[in-house]
Structure 1
Amino acid sequence: MFYRPEDGHGLPHNPFNAIVSPRPIGWISTRGALGDNLAPYSFFNAVAYVPPQVMFASTSQKDDRDGTKDSMAQLRESGVFCVNIVEYAARDVMNLSSGAHPAGVDEFRLAGVEKAACTTIDCPRVANAPASLECKVTQIVPLPGEANIAVFGEVTGIHMRDDCIIDGRFDVTSFQMLARGGYRDYSVVREVFELQRPDD
């Protein structure tokens, strides 16, 4: 099967998200004039080592946020955000925080997620997350399409939960990292393996 996206695929559900998967989930926390916010984004990834940098993309909008979503509106105000890594044990509260709640609703409180202060930025983080990346915004890039916006950030502080460090490595199997598939599908990292590169 071949299709051009502008022509449609003719399938009951869009296959694009399922093709580009699994994707890590950036559980983005922000602080703005209306308070604290927490929302998951599956268009998220690391993009550079030195200095460490990440990106996430917002692809929809809310009527009460002038063409964007709460996370985007708030990081535009503050210039900072925090990426919290999602574990399998947090799947239900992560999902609850994904709702299009009215601006000003604190999803930490709504979902019963404990918050903690970041160290290098004025922003909350998920207190019990396996890891949290404190970030200052470096670029906000409008993308083609309605309400598509990419945010790039430099990581200024990293929190890691002690039980996730095993033999000197941050071990994603120790907490069963959650990843997003297509449609309403998710997966869990329970097994990893190594490959030696040709130039190792």
Structure 2
Amino acid sequence: MTTIPRDSLMSLEAYAKVRQTGKPESIAHRRLRTVRLGEHLSVQFEDERTVRRQIQEMLHIEKIFDEAGIQAEIDAYAPLVPDGGNWKATMLIEYPDAHERKRELARLIGIEDRMFVEPEGLQRVYAIADEDLDRETEEKTSSVHFLRFEFTRVAIEAIRAGAAVKLGCDHRNYPAHTGIPPETLASLAGDLR
């Protein structure tokens, strides 16, 4: 498993000094690695940079400064860093209206298992979802899921060589697909070795 080195994190004081000035760059990086799928779903592809920022934010917000607490945050978020053979992502299902959200989350049970990426000319790669814990009940799915797309060597080579890639969902109540924009795909290709 890839990890975030402890020495790559700033102290609470150092992070507090750069938190606001670094925010626009972090937002831009997060936006570059986010793909909207239809009107109500977005997939935020993680990397070491996004995960490190999330850990720093949690340490800052919760005022965690002891070594055991810092290590606990690293251990919680490090599984989201891709390891060279996959992409890892946070999927958000977004319905602003609470009543619509409740209804749709009930209709979308199992959606996390129907997410895929499809490199041009190759088979779909379906997400392995929520490996840390189950995020749905018999009544509804969660609005947040964690996905891992595990690639074959052939797929990795194709993506790194510039093959187009689709992101999609074939859930019966949310069929959608879109091409991953070239600038996003270039960033994601950098996650693969």
Bigger fraction of residues in helix: 2
Query: Same fold per TM (> 0.5)?
Result: no
Bigger fraction of residues in strand: 1
Q: Give TM-score scaled by structure 1 length.
A: 0.33
